[in-house]
Amino acid sequence: MASLLPRAALLPRSITSSAAASPRTTTALTRFFSSTPSAPAQQIPPESPLFINVPNPPQDQSIEAKRELKRVRGFVPVPRRVFAHRDSHEKPTDSWLTRAAPEPSNAKSQAEPGSDVQAWKRKMAVSRRENIRSGVRDLWARKQRIDAKRLAARTAKLAANKAAAMAPEREDERLTRGTINAGTLQTSVALDPQRFERCLASAARTAAIAADKSEARRDAIQTLYMNARSFIVNETELEVAVNREFADDHFDRMGQSGAGYRIQNIWDAQNEPVSVDAMLKDLQRDNYSLVSDFTSDEVRTVRRQKQVAEELTGGKMDE
């Protein structure tokens, strides 16, 4: 059974042959002092897998590929936006360039140079002015080319997308697509033929609701007007009302209830709140209270007439 261990690396043939021929000379090799590192050319034997240089695929996960594809450190700086402002289109013009790199105007600069150094400095100044003019114009031309290329690519992409969207269905897609019911494809919403009648009915209901709210508001205002006669509006009336309601003999002055009992609290004086069951029993004269059972028809008629009058007049009436 063949061994699965990796084979030992083979040495170059020139090294092995020289070592076998003269074993003593290997120990006598001397290395001279030098600042340049010695890197002898390594010869790869034909038995080695590296004898034939085969490029690795882009996503090779082998150790050799990871060793070869070293990480490149650093990054390319982002170029400046020279024409980022609104008035950047004026930079290539002669007026802007004249203001950016003006010619010397003092009297000293107009005279002849006094030395070779001064002449060289003037030559360098002229070169800088020419460089900024040519550089700005070249950058503007490059920007125009890039913008035109970008606009052309964008226009072509939009045209291609529009053509693909508006293109008719291909024959193979038509023959291989699933069958869809024709009723499912009908997505349009038909108008209701009774929409005008329903609109009129809704308007009538809305008007009735508004009328009921207005009537309830007027009834509330009338009730407020009737009750306003007993409102407390100053401190004197408030003091009188407090002394009357919180007096020690307040319930004693009321006398007796309708059933002949002595009034001791507010429930004896004004009775409990009327419930729906009590109203029905009062209408059927089937109350547990003897006072309600023996109420005369005259009293009942007066109460009904008062309620009818309040409904007709739209306001509350005094007792």
3-state secondary structure of 26: coil
Query: Is 96 among the domain residues?
Result: yes
For 169, phi then psi, to 5°, come to -70, 140
Query: Is 267 among the domain residues?
Result: no
Q: Is the pLDDT of residue 118 over 80?
A: yes
The total of structural domains in the chain comes to: 1
Closest CA to 128 of 106, 104, 101, 109: 101
Query: Is 185 among the domain residues?
Result: no
pLDDT at 179: 87
Cα gap 137→89, rounded to integer Å: 11
262 forms beta bridges with: 256
Q: Whole domain around residue 134: which residue ranges?
A: 89-100+116-165
In the chain, which ranges are continuous DSSP H helix?
A: 13-21, 63-68, 94-100, 107-110, 116-166, 171-176, 182-185, 195-227, 235-245, 266-270, 276-284, 290-293, 297-313
For 25-44, write each residue's pLDDT tens digit: 444 455 555 565 565 567 88
Query: Is 260 among the domain residues?
Result: no
Nearest 10 degrees: Cα torsion 189, 194, 197, 203: -30
For 11-24, write each residue's pLDDT tens digit: 444 444 444 444 44
pTM: 0.35
For 143-198, write each residue's pLDDT tens digit: 999 999 999 999 999 999 999 999 999 999 989 988 888 888 888 888 999 999 99
Query: Is 93 among the domain residues?
Result: yes
Query: Is 149 among the domain residues?
Result: yes
CA distance readout (Å), 194 to 190, 207, 218, 298: 12, 20, 36, 54
Cα gap 90→94, rounded to integer Å: 9
